[in-house]
Structure 1
Amino acid sequence: MSVESVSTEALRLTSCRVHEAQGGGRRSFALLQAARHAGPLIWVLSAYAPHLPMLRGLPDGLGHRLHIVRAKTATDLLWAVEEALRSSPVGLVIAEPEKPLSLTAGRRLQLAAEAGKTTGLMLIREGQGSNAAETRWNCAPLASGKRDSTPHRWGLIKNKRGTLKTWTVHWNGATAAFNLVSETGE
């Protein structure tokens, strides 16, 4: 399998906007994005979420910047995300809503991201995207016999400012660096 290095611009989320990721690999995608953003990181989950990000499995230094917020209701979750997005020192806000966002809620989050100059990433279930999202990613882990990295297929399935594309990447989960697998190597 041929692997080529990728510029830091590949798979970068547009700043000051809210994006969405769906699929079984959405948390890995979120962790890569978290490693690529400087400053404090806010991860907002429902108080009843069955799984939390594993602090020991995070990329180096990420656990010290990560703040987890547990919201009791869907309204509290959206309020926490909006307030975090308005906070300019925050580098990235990740949230896992249980229900689809309305167009109004999605637009409010976009305005908050613009006001705070902060990037947001909503981890959604398939088919629960908001029309207000800047981009939507479909993220899936791929089976592999290697133990040093996990291959993923990350596809841009909605993009308000560009083309759609799918990448197969190898990411070891330890840093913000990753390798792109060339199309001929698949």
Structure 2
Amino acid sequence: MSLKFSSVFPLKHARAHEVCGDSALSFAAIAAGMAKGAVVWISEDWRPTVNPEGLAAYCDPGRLLLTRAGNQLTALASAETALRSGAAGLVVAELSGTVGLTEGRRLQLAAEAGRTTAILLIPEGAGSNAAETRWRSTCLPAQSAPSSGLAPEPRQNGHDSTHWRWSLIKNKIGTLSEWVVRWDAAAHRVIVVSEAGG
């Protein structure tokens, strides 16, 4: 039996979730747009800083609070503090390495205490067993794009025609599935699309 997309996204509130893949940032930006209140976005100093204006199609840039951390340990501590405070609707942390079981559990406890959701952007294979869910987000080449898949498809009828494959690869309730989706900026929601029909 396949899991309905609407039953897993938006993400389960007050839990820590993980996302990997080449489109993990897009996944987090969409989640930021669907979150209530401020969004704390944490990244390590060596990474490029996310440009809030670049996420405007997905979320209000004025709701983003950008935080820089010297290393992954500091990023995890910042995420834990932000989660526990309950001052934000979502905490996004861009991480460069493996998340240990202890760190993962601490984040889950902080998310529960602050009633705040976390998204950890992780490298492939770097997740924690404590994560509520783990997703792989990959960009699908547009059908009308050149064979290289590098050129983006233009907007049609005001909709971004970029499609992503969102694969639920870890789920504490045990059900795994995947969907092909696109973002509808006008409706401000994720649309599940037919993979065959685009």
SS of equivalent to 1:133: coil
Distance in 1 between residues matched to 2:119 and 2:186, nearest whole Å: 20
- Which residue is equivalent to 2:154? 147
For residues 81-128 of structure 1, give each alpha carbon's deviation from its aligned partner in whole angstroms, at most 9, with x where no partner exists: 000001213100000111111100100000000000000000000010
In the superposition, relative to structure 1, how do residues 104 and 38 fare at CA in structure 2: closer, same or farther (>3 Å)?
Answer: same
Matches within 5 A, 1:73-88: 73-88=71-86
Segments of 5+ residues of structure 2 without an aligned counterpart are: 145-152
Identity of aligned residues (%): 42
TM-score (norm 1): 0.89
- Which residue is equivalent to 1:166? 178
- Which residue is equivalent to 1:101? 99
- The number of residue pairs the alignment matches comes to 180
Matches within 5 A, 1:1-186: 9=7, 11-49=9-47, 51-59=48-56, 62-144=60-142, 145=144, 146-148=153-155, 149=160, 150-172=162-184, 176-183=188-195, 185=197
**Would the aligned equivalents of 2:5 and 2:179 in 1 still touch at CA under 8 Å?**
no
In the superposition, relative to structure 1, how do residues 28 and 15 fare at CA in structure 2: closer, same or farther (>3 Å)?
Answer: same
Q: 1:173: Cα distance to partner?
A: 5.7
SS of equivalent to 1:156: strand
Distance in 2 between residues matched to 1:108 and 1:80, nearest whole Å: 12
Distance in 2 between residues matched to 1:97 and 1:91, nearest whole Å: 20
**Would the aligned equivalents of 2:83 and 2:110 in 1 still touch at CA under 8 Å?**
yes
- The letter for the 2-side match of 1:52 is T
RMSD: 2.0
TM-score (norm 2): 0.84
